[in-house]
Structure 1
Amino acid sequence: MQSQVASSDKSEKTIRYLSTVVASSVVIFLFSIFINRFVEIKISQDTYLMFHVFTEIASALISFSIFVVLFFTYDIFYRRYSLILANTFFITGLLDIFHMLTYNGMYSLFPENIQTPTYFWIFSRFILGIGLFIAYTTKKDALSSIKKGYSIIVGILVVGVVFLLSVTYVEQMPPLIIKGKGLTNTKVIWEYIITTIFIIDIFAYVNRSEGKYTTANIYMLSGLMLGLFAEVCFMLYVNVYDTLNITGHIFKILSYGYIFRAVFVKNVRRPYQQIFEQKEMLTLDINDMTIAMEEQTAKIYKQNKELEFINTKIKDDLASTSEIQKAMFPRKDLVINDLRFNFEIFPCEELSGDYVNYFSIDDENIGFYIMDVSGHGVAAAMLGVFAAQSIGESMRINYKEASIFSPAAVLNHFYSLFNKSNFPDEIHIVMLYGMYNKNDNKVILSSAGLNCNPILISQDSKPRFLEIESGFPICKLGDVFEPNFEDYEIELKFGEKLLIHTDGLTEMRRQDGDFWGADSLLAYIDSIGVSPSFILNNKLKSQIVQNINNSGQDDDITYCVIEKISP
Structure 2
Amino acid sequence: MVKHLTKDKNYLYPALALLGSLVVFLILGMLGPFMHTTIENKNFLALHIVFEFISILFSFSIFTLVFYTYKENSNSRSILLAFIFLTIGTIDTFHTLYYKGMPEFFTPSCAFKATAFWVISRLIMSAGFLLAVIISGDKPFRISRWFVPVMSFLVSAAVFYLVVFRRDLVPEFYIEGQGLTPLKIYAEYAIISLQVITAALSIHEYSRTGNRSPIIFATALIISIFSELCFTLYISVYDLYNFMGHIYKIISYSVMFNVLFIQNVRLPYQKLKEADLILKNHAKTLEREVSRARDQIFDTNKKLYRDIEYAREIQQSMLPEKKLDFGEVEFFSSLIPNQMLSGDFYNVFEIDDNNIGVYVVDVSGHGISSAIMTIFADRTILTNKLDPYKQQLLLSPAQVLNDLFSLYNSSNFPAEMYMLMFYGVFNRITGEFTYSSAGLNTQPLYISGPEITALECDSAFPICKMGKFIQPSFKNSILKLNPGDRIFIYSDGLTEAVNREEMPFTEERLMGILRRNHTLSAEELFYEIFDRFTCFVLDKKLEDDVTLMLIQC
TM-score by length of 1: 0.49
C-alpha deviation, 1:501, in angstroms? 1.1
Within the candidate set 489, 492, 497, 1:500 is matched to 489
- Distance across 2 between alignment mates of 1:470 and 1:277: 84
Match of 2:374 in 1: 384
Match of 1:114 in 2: none
C-alpha deviation, 1:399, in angstroms? 6.6
- Distance across 2 between alignment mates of 1:438 and 1:383: 31
Moved more, 546-555 or 495-504: 546-555
Matches within 5 A, 1:186-205: none
C-alpha deviation, 1:77, in angstroms? 12
Going from structure 1 to structure 2, the CA distance change for 1:533 and 1:552 (only over 3 Å counts) comes to: same
**How big is each residue's C-alpha offset from its partner over 1:429-486, in whole Å with a ceiling of 9 and x where there is no partner?**
1100000001111101100011210012222x23332232452111111122111111
Q: Does 1:368 align with 2:358?
A: yes
Matches within 5 A, 1:446-465: 446-459=436-449, 461-465=450-454
Within the candidate set 286, 310, 315, 1:296 is matched to 286
Any conservation in 1 of the 2:420–2:462 contact (CA below 8 Å)? yes
Match of 1:39 in 2: none
Matches within 5 A, 1:6-405: 275-276=265-266, 284=274, 287-394=277-384, 400=390, 405=395
Match of 1:477 in 2: 466
C-alpha deviation, 1:526, in angstroms? 2.2
- Distance across 1 between alignment mates of 2:316 and 2:78: 74
- Distance across 2 between alignment mates of 1:524 and 1:278: 83
Going from structure 1 to structure 2, the CA distance change for 1:281 and 1:524 (only over 3 Å counts) comes to: farther
Q: Which has the larger radius of gyration?
A: 1
**How big is each residue's C-alpha offset from its partner over 1:93-117, in whole Å with a ceiling of 9 and x where there is no partner?**
xxxxxxxxxxxxxxxxxxxxxxxxx
Within the candidate set 399, 403, 410, 1:413 is matched to 403
Match of 2:431 in 1: 441
Secondary structure of the equivalent of 1:523? helix
- Distance across 1 between alignment mates of 2:458 and 2:451: 21
Q: Does 1:422 align with 2:423?
A: no
What is the letter of the counterpart of residue 426 of structure 2?
Y
Q: Does 1:530 align with 2:515?
A: no
Going from structure 1 to structure 2, the CA distance change for 1:496 and 1:511 (only over 3 Å counts) comes to: farther
Any conservation in 2 of the 1:318–1:350 contact (CA below 8 Å)? yes
- Distance across 1 between alignment mates of 2:269 and 2:448: 84
Any conservation in 2 of the 1:394–1:413 contact (CA below 8 Å)? no
C-alpha deviation, 1:409, in angstroms? 1.1
Any conservation in 2 of the 1:395–1:410 contact (CA below 8 Å)? no
Match of 1:169 in 2: none
C-alpha deviation, 1:316, in angstroms? 1.1
Match of 1:518 in 2: 507
Secondary structure of the equivalent of 2:435? strand
**How big is each residue's C-alpha offset from its partner over 1:407-442, in whole Å with a ceiling of 9 and x where there is no partner?**
111111111111111111222111000000011111
Runs of 5+ unmatched residues, structure 1: 1-69, 79-139, 144-270
Any conservation in 2 of the 1:398–1:405 contact (CA below 8 Å)? no
What is the letter of the counterpart of residue 309 of structure 2?
A
Going from structure 1 to structure 2, the CA distance change for 1:288 and 1:462 (only over 3 Å counts) comes to: farther
Secondary structure of the equivalent of 2:434? strand
Secondary structure of the equivalent of 2:538? helix
Any conservation in 2 of the 1:507–1:517 contact (CA below 8 Å)? yes
Aligned length: 305
Moved more, 487-496 or 448-457: 487-496
**How big is each residue's C-alpha offset from its partner over 1:218-277, in whole Å with a ceiling of 9 and x where there is no partner?**
xxxxxxxxxxxxxxxxxxxxxxxxxxxxxxxxxxxxxxxxxxxxxxxxxxxxx9996446
**How big is each residue's C-alpha offset from its partner over 1:131-152, in whole Å with a ceiling of 9 and x where there is no partner?**
xxxxxxxxx9999xxxxxxxxx
- Distance across 2 between alignment mates of 1:304 and 1:368: 47
Secondary structure of the equivalent of 2:461? coil
Any conservation in 1 of the 2:332–2:550 contact (CA below 8 Å)? yes
Q: Does 1:539 align with 2:537?
A: no
C-alpha deviation, 1:393, in angstroms? 3.6
C-alpha deviation, 1:345, in angstroms? 1.0
TM-score by length of 2: 0.50
- Distance across 2 between alignment mates of 1:495 and 1:277: 96
C-alpha deviation, 1:510, in angstroms? 3.0
Any conservation in 2 of the 1:437–1:443 contact (CA below 8 Å)? yes
**How big is each residue's C-alpha offset from its partner over 1:503-548, in whole Å with a ceiling of 9 and x where there is no partner?**
1111111332132222222112223332122222322222332344
Going from structure 1 to structure 2, the CA distance change for 1:533 and 1:462 (only over 3 Å counts) comes to: same
Going from structure 1 to structure 2, the CA distance change for 1:75 and 1:500 (only over 3 Å counts) comes to: closer
**How big is each residue's C-alpha offset from its partner over 1:326-362, in whole Å with a ceiling of 9 and x where there is no partner?**
1111112111242211211111111111110000111
Runs of 5+ unmatched residues, structure 2: 1-70, 80-143, 148-260
What is the letter of the counterpart of residue 542 of structure 2?
Q
Name the % identity.
30
**How big is each residue's C-alpha offset from its partner over 1:341-390, in whole Å with a ceiling of 9 and x where there is no partner?**
12111111111111100001111100000001112111111111111111
